[in-house]
Amino acid sequence: MAAAGGGECDVIMTPAAANLVAPSHPEGPAMLSDEDEDAGTRREAESFKEQGNAFYAKKDYNEAFNYYTKAIDACPSNASYYGNRAATLMMLGKFREALGDAQQSVRMDDSFLRGHLREGKCHLSLGNAMAASRCFQRVLELDHKNAQAQQELNNARTVLEYEKIAEIDFEKRDFRKVVFCMDRALEFAPACHRFKILKAECLALLGRYPEAQSVASDILRIDSTNADALYVRGLCLYYEDCIEKAVQFFIQALKMAPDHDKACLACRNAKALKAKKDDGNKAFKEGNYKLAFDLYTEALAIDPNNRKTNAKLFCNRGTVNAKLRKLDEAIEDCTSAIKLDDTYIKAYLRRAQCYMDTEQYEDAVRDYEKVYQTEKTKEHKQLLKNAQVELKKSKRKDYYKILGVDKNASEDEIKKAYRKRALMHHPDRHSGASAEIQKEEEKKFKEVGEAFTILSDPKKKARYDSGQDLEEDGMNMGDFDANNIFKAFFGGPGGFSFEGKCHQLNRGSPEFVQREAVGFSSGSAS
- Does the pLDDT at position 19 exceed 70? no
Pair 58, 161 in one domain = yes
Same domain, residue pair 152 and 77: yes
DSSP conformational letter for 429: G
Residues 387-425 pLDDT 10s: 998 898 888 888 888 889 988 889 899 889 888 988 888
Per-residue pLDDT reduced to its tens digit, 179-233: 999 999 999 999 999 999 999 999 999 989 999 999 999 999 989 999 999 999 9
Mean model confidence pLDDT for the chain: 86
Report if residue 475 sits inside a domain. Answer: no
Q: How confident is the model at residue 442 (pLDDT cuts 50, 70, 90)?
A: confident
- Rounded to an integer, what distance in angstroms lies between the CA atom of residue 473 and that of residue 455? 16
Give 289's contacts (C-beta < 8 A, 6+ positions apart).
283, 320, 323, 324
Angle at CA of residue 318, ends 315 and 320, nearest 5°:
115
Cα separation, 114 vs 486, in Å, equals: 109
Q: Which of 419, 440, 465 is the last residue of a domain?
A: 465
In a domain, 485, yes or no: no
CA-wise closest residue to 186 among 26, 230, 194: 194
CA distance 465 to 455: 9
- Count of beta carbons in the 10 Å neighbourhood of residue 221: 9
Please identify, among 395, 425, 445, the residue that sits at the C-terminal boundary of a domain.
Answer: 395
Q: Are residues 351 and 330 in the same domain?
A: yes
The residues, ordered by sequence, that sit 6+ positions from 504 with a Cβ below 8 Å of its Cβ are none
Torsion of CA 373, 375, 377, 379, to 10 degrees: -90
Q: Are 403 and 388 part of one and the same domain?
A: no
What's the rounded Cα separation, in Å, for the pair 257 and 409? 71
- Asked if the model's pLDDT at residue 464 lies above 90, the reply is no
The CATH number of the domain where 454 resides is what? Answer: 1.10.287.110
The SS3 call for residue 379 is helix
Say if residue 174's pLDDT is above 60: yes
Going by C-beta distance under 8 Å and a sequence separation of 6 or more, which residues neighbour residue 502?
512, 515, 516, 520
Q: How far is CA 32 from the centre of its chain?
A: 77
- For residue 82, what are the domain limits? 34-168
Residues 6+ away with beta carbon under 8 Å from 216: 197, 200, 229, 230, 232, 233, 236
Please write down the long-range contacts of 350-355, taking CB distance under 8 Å and 24 or more positions apart.
350/315, 350/318, 350/319, 350/322, 351/318, 352/383, 352/387, 353/322, 354/318, 354/322, 354/327, 354/330, 355/331
Give the DSSP H or E segment for 262. helix 261-285
We report the CATH number of the domain holding residue 329 as 1.25.40.10
Widest distance between CA atoms in the chain: 163
The predicted-structure confidence for 349-374, as pLDDT tens digits, reads as follows 999 999 999 999 999 999 999 999 99
Residues 44 and 151 in one domain: yes
Instruction: Give a yes or no: residue 431 inside a domain.
Output: yes
Q: Provide the whole-model pTM.
A: 0.66
**What's the pLDDT tens digit per position in 465-498?**
877 766 655 555 555 677 777 776 776 554 455 5
**What is the Cβ-side half-sphere exposure of residue 208, based on CA atoms within 13 angstroms?**
14
Tally the C-alpha atoms within 13 A of residue 421's C-alpha that lie toward its C-beta. 26
257 belongs to a structural domain: no
Closest CA to 354 of 384, 378, 334, 380: 334
C-alpha span between 313 and 279 (Å, rounded): 12
Domain membership flag for residue 310: yes
Residue 492 maps to a domain: no
334 and 456 in a single domain? The answer is no
34-70 burial, b at 16+ Cβ within 10 Å, e below that, comes to: eeeeebeebeebbebbebbbebbeeeebeebbbbbbb
Residues 380 and 457 in one domain: no
Q: Is-contact 132 151, C-beta < 8 A?
A: no
Start-to-end C-alpha separation, the chain: 96
Assess whether 381 and 438 both reside in one domain: no
Instruction: Look at residue 371 in the predicted model and tell me its pLDDT.
Output: 96
Distance of CA 371 to CAs 161, 327, 344, 376, Å?
47, 20, 9, 8
On whether residue 524 sits in a domain, the answer given is no
* Predicted confidence (pLDDT) per residue in 252-264, tens digit: 999 999 999 999 9
Cα 238 versus chain centre, distance: 12
Q: How far apart are CA 388 and CA 418, in angstroms?
A: 29
Report how far apart, in Å, the C-alpha atoms of 88 and of each of 62, 101, 306 are. 8, 10, 45
Q: Are residues 355 and 425 in the same domain?
A: no
Classify residue 47: in a domain, yes or no: yes
User: Distance between alpha carbon 435 and the CA centroid of its chain, in Å?
Assistant: 62
Residue 343: its pLDDT value, please? 94
What pLDDT shows up at residue 273? 95
Report whether 361 contacts 389 (CB < 8 A).
Answer: no
Asked if residue 119 and residue 104 are part of one domain, the reply reads yes
pLDDT digits (tens, 9 = 90+) for 274-287: 999 999 999 999 99
Distance CA 74, CA 141 (A): 32
pLDDT-derived band of residue 28, with 50, 70 and 90 as boundaries? very low
Q: Looking at the structure, do residues 445 and 370 belong to the same domain, yes or no?
A: no
Percentage of the residues of the chain whose pLDDT score is greater than 70: 83
Kindly state whether residues 159 and 59 are assigned to the same domain: yes
Q: How many domains does the chain have?
A: 3
More confident residue, 440 or 116: 116
Out of 370, 395, 420, a domain closes at: 395
Q: Do 109 and 15 meet the contact criterion of CB atoms below 8 Å apart?
A: no
